[in-house]
Structure 1
Amino acid sequence: MVFSGRSLGIAALFCCIVLAFIRREQIRNNRVTWSGLRSFLNGGERISQGFTEDIEAGLTSNEFDLAAHNADDQRNGLDDDAKNQIKDIMNQDRVDFNQARLTYLRRQFSNNNIAADGMPLDPKAVAFGK
């Protein structure tokens, strides 16, 4: 029985797909491989695992680009408390990441007695010029 090159190629492709399906959990959990691949695709930039997880969680945008601004940064990603609050805002208000960040920032200002324009609301505060 003689097989053509095309049928062997199709059989090899089928075997690769079946193997990938069987090993999908191991592939998904192998973060070292994926982070190395991301690093290669990003032109060699190294992004810490924390920032990589934040990017995968959707906590990035064109205006707040974690990949571009945190290359070679060794911190563990964004602040966990702020991340959780922003994710909650995104889910509850059904808004995108940028709108959720703005809402979070306004709430933080309000909690710290700061006006929306960044000026302190404390009557004893002194500000020079505008």
Structure 2
Amino acid sequence: NPNIGYVFLIIYLTISAILLLNFLIAIFSETYNFLSNKKQGLYVQEVIKLRNHYDFHPLYSSIVYSPLPFNVVLFLIIPITVMVKSAKFNSVILHIEYVPIAVITTLCFFVVTV
């Protein structure tokens, strides 16, 4: 029967397509597993790249760079920061904002590593 060759060809091409699709899925899965462990680092890297575009303002950077829990409290200090216009006051506010975060991060580091 001359059509039996076409049947075998269709079966061969179907099996080959399924195998190639399976290899492609395996490659995507391996790439996803590799990058999923590094996704936080890649995200932080992009944030740092964007953050470098901002200029540090000596008078108002405490308003711009305040971390999330402190920006709600800082909402009350914004009028004072705008009225005072002092680099020293800005530096003090930045230290008040970031010293607790640095202490907590350092303590967490020591707890995890010990």
TM-score by length of 2: 0.31
TM-score by length of 1: 0.28
Question: Which one has more relative contact order, counting CA pairs under 8 Å at least 6 apart?
Answer: 2
**Greater fraction helix:** 2
Mark the structure with the bigger radius of gyration. 2
